[in-house]
Structures are given as structure tokens and as C-alpha cells.
Structure 1
Amino acid sequence: MGAAPHWRPGLDLLGVLGLKVAVVPHYDNAEGGTHDTRYCYLGERRLTQMESELPPGAAVLGIDEHTALVVDLGTEEALVAGRGRVTIRRPGSQAVLPAGTSTNLEEIRRLTRGETTVSGGAPQVISPAPHQMSLAEATRSCEERFTAALTGHDAARAVLDLEAEVARWGADTEEDEGGVEHARESLRLLIAKLGARAGAPSPGDLLASLVGSVLALRGELRRQGRYDIADALRAALLRGGVLVADTPDGPRWTSAGSDRPPVNALLTPGY
């Protein structure tokens, strides 16, 4: 499995320039596909964790690929060269110096201390990437949203969001609290609840709205090629007494024991 992310002593080449920073190359890497490989393949979760372990007053100096921070040691002038950016990241804020930015070491020192730059070539100061929830946190959030909006379209969206989280974390090599299997079990439970709700005695309008939400979710899953989850939704509806038939004009459904003609789901509310 390898060791957990951690810092190791470096050469501190920039310490003599008054910069208390950890240099992270490949800051903007995006080669990982379903993996977050930014920040030299650390990703947001790992970098956030490691930031908390930096010495007091230290910042992260991120340098994008095909980019350099060129410093003239005689004049202390600094230039961002190449096609990317240099990022000075501290807890709560980060400063971005785009390619072509001409500044000096004192301005960079100020940024690493969290002070706002005042030079004519001022970099853009923005907030860092938002906190990335763990899989367990995302699962709980989707469960709470599902419970709060079971009879509306938001319930189906919560199920879809949870399925997306399961798919994303399933490609991550790092373990998380509860694990992917726990999240999948929660997903199956929410789908079963949707099916049970669809079959519960209720006014026709409420049933049509709920089934329409579920079928909209099923349609989006099918468009994404996630046929196993889409089939699970269809089976859950059947257990709840709702029969779904796919036709050239779109899915049609009828409830068990109903003598009314099939309802075209394309005419029911969607999202």
C-alpha cells in the first residue's frame, strides 16, 4: 500500500532568500483522468492534509508544468516565465502569478506571509480550492438530502450524486472511512426506498411525479452507460408495483392493478 503522505527534510535552497516555502512542481497536472493528480500527483485531499503539517509560517509554492520562477539574485527581480502560473498557497487564501508577471523577491516574501501585494503587477488573489469531502461525508450528505426531499426531484438527484461519488472514489487508490462498499450499500438502500415509495398508496399526481423523477434519473444513467444502476432502478420500481416498458417513443409506465393506459414518462416532470 505504501507509506501515508508525509514531508521529508529538503535542501531548503530558498531559505537563504527569506522564503519559507515547500516547492510543489507539476502544480496543474491533469493527466490522471478519474484521479486528482494536481499538485505533483498529490490531489486536493492529500495536499490539504499535508499543508496542516507544515511548520508555522510556511507556505506552498506551486509551479505549473512548463513554467519557471526566474529570480535575479543580484537585483532580486522575479519573473514568471513559460506558459503556466506560479501559486503561493496559504491556509485560507492563495495568490496566483500568471505567466509574464514581473515582480520582486520582497513581494513574494509578503505573499508567503499572507500579506497583500501592492506592486503594479499585482497577482490575482483568490480563495483556495474548496474542502473536498470524504466519501463518508458525501454519503451522509446524499442520505440527508434524500430523506429531506423524498417526494421531489431532489431525491433522485441525491441518488445520482451518490452514484457519481461511488464511481469517482472507486478509481481512487486511497482508502477512505467506510470504503466504497459501504457507500454502494447506501446507494442500494436509497434505490430500494425510491421503489418502495413509488408503490405506496398515494394520490395519482404524487405517484406520477415520483415515478417521473425516478425515470428521469434512470434515463440519465442510461445515457452515461451505467446500465447496472439503471436496471436496479427499474427492478426497484417493479417491486413497488410500477411496470416500466421502453418504447421507441420513450419509457412508459403503469402501476399494478391500474386499468388506465400507459403513461408516457416524457410528459412527466424531469430535471
Structure 2
Amino acid sequence: MTRLLVVMGSGETAPTMVKPHRAVFERVTGPAVLLDTPYGFQSNADDISARAVRYFDQSVGRAVDVVSWRQAPADPVARERCLAALRGAGWVFAGPGSPTYTLRAWRETAIPDLLADKLSRDGVVLFASAAALTLGSHTVPVYEIYKAGIEPHWAQGLNLLEAALGFPAVLIPHYDNAEGGNHDTRFCYLGEARLSLLEAELPPDRLIIGVDEHTAVVFDLDAKTATVSGNGLLTLRRAGVSTAFPAGSVLSFADLAAGPAAGLATGAGRATGAGRATGAGRSTGAGPAMGPAAGVPTGAGLPAGSGAGLAESGRPGWVAGAPPVSQPSLRGVADDLDARFATALAARDVDACVAALLEMEQAIVDWSGDTETNDGADYPRSILRGMVVRLGELARRGATDPAETVGPFVDALVELRGRARLNRDYPTSDTVRDRLAAAGVELRDSPDGTSWRLVAD
């Protein structure tokens, strides 16, 4: 029997999450289904489903079927068919879109109870991005607050976390989001100011569980452990105090329930109830006036440089006015490969140019299933086309160093000129020099002999 609740902060269909997906699927028995509700309101919902199915098939190596519940089916047969597919699945996935749309579509249906039953009996529920927001006792209406400007408020969540973990909590994905650049978009686009307002409305003991982008947390309901993997951190926050745990950390449910205080204890790497060492924790403050807790060592177990901004923002990875911390993206991969191509081109290294071209093409394929990517493939394709054009220009000019190509001919003429000078045949010597200069070859005479260089390609 396998009972797992898996949360991904973002990147659920990106190359960065292939390894965590495969690790989870090794423990799955039964069919795998994708529930399309979170993005069901979007006009490109069919395309998002197709891309996700292709991603799991081609990148993860697992067939996934789509259960379409964009709103409760009016046809009772269709409705029961969907519920039967969910009930019989060993793995249920939901991802990007709108958390409040999802909650409305599932309200007064059998889906919440069905998901809770799956976690209580046998199965894997994997929620990412928008869907992950619905798991807690309270849900952030992210679109309404960030896009429509509605005052910060909570929506009622599914409260599956309490059913799974044994204590109520709020889950916030995209916890380290940095898309805002000069304005704070951490905590799923809320920023510290809005999150502080919302946190004050929660019951005093309510835990906030933050999952960074391109990061997975596997809650094993039988082992009662939470394991962090991927690129970012798991953060436990309560009453404005936070503790962050990097990939590789394993926490017991008791540590989770205790919240940030448990993180201070486990920060030294003590063994949890599951018998495994936890990752190093880090205590951070909640806002500009709050830094790390006095006497608590900082930096243990966190990526190098992640401590920047703790005193000002209370969260690793963001400093007011500083450049945003970038997460993996197709655009970022394209920019890196373009820079590598430019370096190879300047060095006339054709093999390295071709390697960059092939990697760019593969990156476009690898990221094609990412349902959350904002830039799509247009930008990297434009970079790829530019690479091809520049490589063609190099081919027209010749990739070999011109000095190597013309060297034997120039050396022969320099030798001929040297003999003419020894024979005091200065007209011939001057003619050779002038003809070489006209061809872009500069001669330099010295006591050690004559050297030459090309002054134009």
C-alpha cells in the first residue's frame, strides 16, 4: 500500500521535475489520471492537457489519461464515469490554473471526499501550483488579489492537509517567486506585506507550508515523513517566523506540526522519528525588522548565497531593489546557449557551435510539455534561427583561421622577398611587399628576420 500526498511548487511539467516524477511513479500502482479542473476555464484547456500528457509520456515515461471535470458534468452518466476513473486511479494529478475556480467546480461534488478517501486507503495525489493552493484549510485567491486588485482575503480550502497530516495547515506554492523583479512577488505573488495581513487572519496556531518553485515535497502518510527534492526549499512559517529546509531534507510529521521551532532543533541534522537525518534548517524573520533568531546559526544546509536579504526581507533569495533570483526556464536556457554559441563562434569552434544548436533544439523539445511556461517556444526558436544564420555566415567566410590557410603562400613570398633583398633587387622586394600589403598582409622587418600578420580577414 502506498499513500502519498505530493506537492510541487511549480514546474510540474518542466524538465526540472522529471526526476521527482519518476521517483513517485516507482511507487504507483494502478492507472494515472490528470484532472483538468484548475485550467478548465481557459480557452486552450485542450492544448494544456495534450502538452501535459505528452510530457508524462515522453519525458517521464508514463501514460496518463485525462479526466475532464471543467465543471460538474450535467449528464449523470458522464459524471459517474469521471468519478469512477478517479476512484480507480493510483495516481491523480492536478496543476496550473485558478484555485478558486477549482474550488467552485468541486464544491458539493464527490471529488474532495474521493481524494481524501484515496489518501486514507491507497494512492497518490499530486497537486502542483494552483491546485496545491486548495489543499489547506485556507486558500489564497491569487488571481483575484494579484491580478484584479481585490483586498487580500482567504477562501475556504479543501483541508486535505489536515486529513493527511493530522493537523490543519495552509499551503502556498511559488513561495520563492521572483517575477516581480523590483516588487515582492514571493509567496505566490502575495509579497510579504499581503502575506502578513493574511497571516494575521489565521488562527494563531495555523502553520503555513511554503514550497518553492521547481521543488517537490513528498508527504509519506505511512512513514509520516516529508521529503524535499528539486531546486528550492520547503518553508515552515507561523506567526511571522520561518524555517527553511533545502532539497534532501526529511522531516517527521511531528516536526512539521511543531512548525518553525522544530526547524531550529532539526537544523543541526538530528534524526527524525523515521530514523533519517533531517536537512539543515534555517530560521528567518518575517519582515524587514526581523532577522534570524538570536543565537541560531544561519546558512547551514542552504545553497551558497541564499542568505542575502534575510535582514531586510526575512526570506532567502529576495532583496528590495536587487535583481530577481531566476528559476529554470526555457528562456533562461536559450539565453545561456546563445551566449555559449557566441563564444564558440568567436573562437571559430564549429563543433561547439553545432553542439549549442543541437542542445537548443533538444531544450525546445524538453520544455514543450511545460504547461506553465509563459514565453513558449517562440523566443528560443528565434534564438535558434539566429544561430543558424550566424553559423552560415561563418561557413561563407570559412571557419578555419585565414592565417593558417594563406600561411604557406605568404611564407613563400616572404622567402622570395628575402632573397631579392640579399641580391639587392629592391624593386622586386618592394613589389612583393606592396602586393602582400594590398592583399591584407603586413610585413615587419627586424634584425631577427621578417614576420607577418593579417590586417583584414
Q: Which has the higher contact order (CA 8 A, sep 6+)?
A: 2
Q: Normalising to structure 2: TM-score of the pair?
A: 0.27
Bigger-Rg structure (1/2):
2
What is the TM-score with the length of structure 1 in the denominator?
A: 0.45
